[in-house]
Amino acid sequence: METLEVIYKRASLKLQLSRREIEQDKIDKILDAARMAPSARNQQPWRFVVVRDRKLIETLVDRAFSEVNRVAKEAPVIISVCANPNDDSVIGGKEYYMFDLGLTVENMVLAATDMGLATHIMAGIDEDELKKVLGIPAEVRSVVSVVVSYPAKDSYDESAKDKLGQRTRKSIDEITYSNKWGTPFR
């Protein structure tokens, strides 16, 4: 796929998960894409805990995921995306690790989509419970978890079709200004 095609095809497919095991080379490619993300002052604050053990996935989901995210039990891989705020670039009083994690997660889900894998970014987690289950140190933040799976249907396109058909986005004119805030872009 081309970059823009992947961006337009990416969808959160938490209801389209398969337990089929994901090959190590695909997980490696996802993590490699994640580590290639830009970061403030090249701090690269991200750390990842890749969970593949079936019993640990079930424990993690039961203890740390919100009710609507319990479908993650079906996934063969859950990646906890973490950072230590002490390793962050703070510029002008702004902490950038959260932005940096957003960039790395976007690379992760685009790489997975490019390989025909389904993903869902989960923010509905109990961070304290997740950290207990995965042994994450107290000073480290676990911001989101990314579920990675083969799609439940025969292909990514088939699994994403309904979701993409329902997608809504604000228009460029609603979110963009020209030169100064409030001046219409077009």
User: Exposure pattern of 5-33 as b/e (b: 16+ CB <10 Å)?
Assistant: ebeebbbbbbebbbeeebeeebbebbbeb
- Number of domains into which the chain is organized: 1
pLDDT over 70 at 1, yes or no: no
Identify whether 58 is part of a domain: yes
Q: The pTM is what?
A: 0.92
Whichever domain contains 81, its CATH number is 3.40.109.10
- Check if the beta carbon of residue 49 is closer than 8 Å to that of residue 145: no
Q: Residue 85 belongs to what domain range? A: 3-175
Provide the H-helix boundaries in 23-96. Answer: 24-35, 54-64
Give the contacts of 149 (CB within 8 A, at least 6 positions apart).
Answer: 13, 16, 17, 18, 19, 20, 22, 74, 75, 76, 77, 117, 118, 119
Identify whether 103 is part of a domain: yes
Identify whether 23 is part of a domain: yes
Identify whether 184 is part of a domain: no
Residue with more model confidence, 152 or 22:
22
Predicted pLDDT of residue 25: 98
Q: What are the pLDDT digits (tens) for 121-159?
A: 999 899 999 999 999 999 999 999 999 999 988 778 887
Predicted pLDDT of residue 103: 97
Identify whether 186 is part of a domain: no
Identify whether 97 is part of a domain: yes
- Check if the beta carbon of residue 45 is closer than 8 Å to that of residue 100: yes
Identify whether 181 is part of a domain: no
